[in-house]
Amino acid sequence: GAVVSQHPSWVICKSGTSVKIECRSLDFQATTMFWYRQFPKQSLMLMATSNEGSKATYEQGVEKDKFLINHASLTLSTLTVTSAHPEDSSFYICSAFNPSGGEYNEQFFGPGTRLTVL
Amino acid sequence: GENVEQHPSTLSVQEGDSAVIKCTYSDSASNYFPWYKQELGKRPQLIIDIRSNVGEKKDQRIAVTLNKTAKHFSLHITETQPEDSAVYFCAASVTGTASKLTFGTGTRLQVTL
């Protein structure tokens, strides 16, 4: 149980275009999902917390108008990178919080999406 | 907010030796400390976690210790094997409703034959 998928697994786009990444919890309802960005040889940096039915909470320094997050259902959150530029090239990973997962707060990670902006 | 520091950044050990990775955290409210293993291009995998009401937890060759007073926790891997080679991240959060994780900077572990 507690499987999280992401789509696509990788994407290459031209500078200035927008890219949408989907994060799905396959066997549980996730009221909260998290979006991370990981540059090569660096740690995971939290970008935003996505709550079902409400606006996402962005971390300091993350542009909410550039990284649009929509959490329209309990099993799906999407991250749209708008007007992507080469510096947005990174590994984007989502995680989902399973409220039925006990008090440990374990988050379940998706497989990641590698974005390359040319 | 929470700040998690992790050392060393790289660690090379011979197969069969032990490896120790240390983390410190700043927020005394943090009470959940997971450790993740990440292979290149893959998702982080939870390998062990510990809560603040416990000082030590062990799972086969992996153990984690927590010193809440000093705000530091450590990962211990014994009898290392080549397949243990990966990047390891510690993290900290506050248990409750979907609290966010703050990750350490990562340790690249290389187990040599």
Average pLDDT across chain A, whole number: 92
Indicate yes or no: CB of B32 within 8 angstroms of CB of A43. Answer: no
Pairing mode, strands A10-13 and A113-117: parallel
Rounded Cα gap, residues A23 and A79, in angstroms: 8
Indicate yes or no: CB of B43 within 8 angstroms of CB of A93. Answer: yes
3-class state of residue A5 by DSSP: strand
Mean pLDDT, 10 residues at a time, over chain B (113 residues)? 95 98 95 95 94 91 96 98 98 79 96 95
Q: What are A66-106's pLDDT values in tens digits? A: 999 999 899 999 999 999 999 999 999 999 987 776 656 67
* Pick from A34, A104, A106: CB nearest B100: A34
Indicate yes or no: CB of B98 within 8 angstroms of CB of A32. Answer: yes
Q: Least CA distance to B52: which residue of chain A?
A: A104
CB of A76 within 8 Å of any CB in chain B?
no
Q: What are A16-53's pLDDT values in tens digits? A: 999 999 999 998 888 899 999 999 999 999 999 998 88
| A70 exposure class (CB count in 10 Å sphere: 0-12, 13-18, 19+) | middle
